[in-house]
Amino acid sequence: MTTSSEPVPDSGLDRRVSNLETGQQSILSKLDQLLGGSRQPPAEPERPEVNIVDEIRRQLDERDRKAARTKTEAAPPAAAEPEQPPKPPVRGITRALWGGDE
């Protein structure tokens, strides 16, 4: 182990660090210019704060109203169509020979 007080030859490290720090300061100043120089939050929120629970309840109520409305509109009257007896099933051999449901 040597304990000499000889100066260490400069390998350019100090110069590189200085250049990097200067570049970082330059980037930060340009960023401040783009952002308007202010890092404070805006005075007013961009949108009013919404309570998540209230919003979900509102959306569920709206969905239920739409479902009830479409259910009443889509239901045909019961007496409009007379009941039909079921058709007899088609035999497998007939379907295989003729390729249909007849």
Answer yes or no: are the C-beta atoms of 87 and 101 closer than 8 Å: no
With bands split at pLDDT 50, 70 and 90, how would you rate the model's confidence at 24?
very high
The answer to whether residues 62 and 56 touch, using CB atoms and an 8 Å cutoff, is no
Q: Is the dihedral of CA 65, 70, 71, 73 positive or negative?
A: positive
Tell if the pTM clears 0.85, that is, is over it: no
d(CA 27, CA 30): 5
pLDDT at residue 91 in the model: 78
CA distances from 94 to 39, 86, 101 (A): 81, 19, 8
* DSSP single-letter state for residue 17: H
Per-residue pLDDT reduced to its tens digit, 28-62: 888 888 877 555 655 665 666 667 888 889 999 99
Please indicate whether residue 19 or residue 92 has the higher confidence score (pLDDT): 19
Euclidean distance between CA atoms 89 and 69, whole angstroms:
38
